[in-house]
Amino acid sequence: MRVLPLALAAAGAAASPAMAADLNVSVEIPRIATASYHRPYVAVWIERADRTSVGTLAVWYDTALPAGEGKDWLKDMRTWWRREGRAMTLPADGVSSATRAPGRHSLTFSGSRGALRNLPAGQYTLVVEAARELGGREEVRVPFRWGAASPAATQRGSSELGAVTVSVTR
């Protein structure tokens, strides 16, 4: 008798999208001293607590090669490829763009667009995966709370990624 209305209420609360929030992400690409440096391919996406994927926020790959040849190596970001990439059509407006140079890159994703649009409030993980030609692959995971302002949280990579910082502003 009491369980059903409570369950419905809980479902209703979980399903209510967090309005007018921004997800701020900072991704550091480390400077790597090597004779044959190529900028890494990078994917940024969101996972639920059960590790299922919400959607991709950004993909940086070599978009300048002829005949879309840069897409041949998207699979090297192997976790993103399996969870998200292989089901996507690229290039994707507002999601894919060219690779970026070493340094700190600040990105702001509006809660009213793309993967964040209508995203229910709750606990999520932002994942950044980088794969570099003649280099390695690394994944950095930063938990965050969606639905309320959330202070900056930072996790660091050790090879292909530096600091990844996530905060939510309203």
| Chain positions contacting another protein, by CB under 8 A | 67-69, 71-75, 78, 81-82, 85-87
Q: Cβ closer to another protein: 115 or 168?
A: 115
Question: Which tokens sit at 156?
Answer: 């660091």
Question: Which tokens sit at 42?
Answer: 């990078």
Measured at the alpha carbon of residue 109, what is the angle toward residues 104 and 113, in degrees to the nearest 5? 160
141 alpha carbon, distance to own chain's centre: 9
CB of 89 to another protein, least distance (A): 9
Please tell me the distance from the alpha carbon of residue 82 to that of residue 61, in angstroms, as a whole number. Answer: 17
CB of 160 to another protein, least distance (A): 15
CB of 88 to another protein, least distance (A): 9
Q: Cβ closer to another protein: 80 or 146?
A: 80
Cα separation values, 47 from 12, 65, 71, Å: 21, 30, 23
Please tell me the distance from the alpha carbon of residue 40 to that of residue 85, in angstroms, as a whole number. Answer: 16
Q: Cβ closer to another protein: 28 or 76?
A: 76
3-state secondary structure of 150: strand
Q: Cβ closer to another protein: 85 or 157?
A: 85
CB of 129 to another protein, least distance (A): 13
